[in-house]
Structure 1
Amino acid sequence: MTGTNPRVAPDRIREHAPKLADLTDDVLFADVWERPELSPRDRSLITVAALMALGRDVQLKGHMGRALQNGVTRDELAEIATHLAFYAGWPAGMTAVNVLAELPD
């Protein structure tokens, strides 16, 4: 890792693609996520919606957890899944609810 930013990228990514891990830590989370133009809560809503729509379930799980930490409620995450089922496809909404159900309370 470079700088003093916290490590966000999983060790598995760091082991196989260290530069991608560094970019995740130093650019995505230490720069993009910290920009003041959007709140962390808003960024979480946008990110979760995009990951749901794209069917990126592995990343969705982590970002749903981050969204909860950023003040998004479980009910709001369920509502995003319900809403996006009509725009991104029924399987995307159903899968997102299954990911949400696996998150610890």
Structure 2
Amino acid sequence: MVTIASLVTGGSTEQLVGHLRLARENGLSESELVEAIVHLAFYAGWPKAMSAIAVAQRVFGEDHDD
């Protein structure tokens, strides 16, 4: 979660894909991850958070396509 928070606040969305997948594999739910990203919006700014949400939607959508 700390790595994801760091990537969101730093605007490093290209690295977020792999870390969101790892977070899910290690027991975090989609809703927990989305809640964390939304919470970070107040500190990192809404543009960074919304970019991260778009990445999360893509990653979670890929997981459900299987």
TM-score band, normalised by shorter chain = 0.7 to 0.9
Q: Tell me how many residue pairs correspond in the alignment.
A: 61
| Residue 44 (structure 2) pairs with residue 91 (structure 1) | no
Q: State the structure with more CA Rg.
A: 1
Where does residue 26 of structure 1 map in the other structure?
Answer: none
Query: Counterparts of 1:95 and 1:80 in 2: how far apart (Å)?
Result: 14
Normalized per residue, the structure richer in helix is: 2
Is 1:50 the counterpart of 2:31 in the alignment? Answer: no
Q: Give me the TM-score of the superposition, normalised by structure 1.
A: 0.56
Contact 1:68-1:74 at 8 Å conserved across structures: yes
**Higher relative contact order, chain-length normalized (CA < 8 Å, sep 6+):** 2
Q: Is the 8 A contact 1:81 1:92 kept in 2?
A: no
Of the three residues 79, 83, 104, the one matched with 2:35 is 79
For structure 1, the residue ranges without an aligned partner over 5 or more in a row are 1-44
Deviations 1:1-60 (A, max 9, x none): xxxxxxxxxxxxxxxxxxxxxxxxxxxxxxxxxxxxxxxxxxxx1001100110111111
List runs of 5+ in structure 2 lacking aligned partners: none
CA drift of 1:78 comes to: 0.5
**TM-score w.r.t. length of structure 2:** 0.87
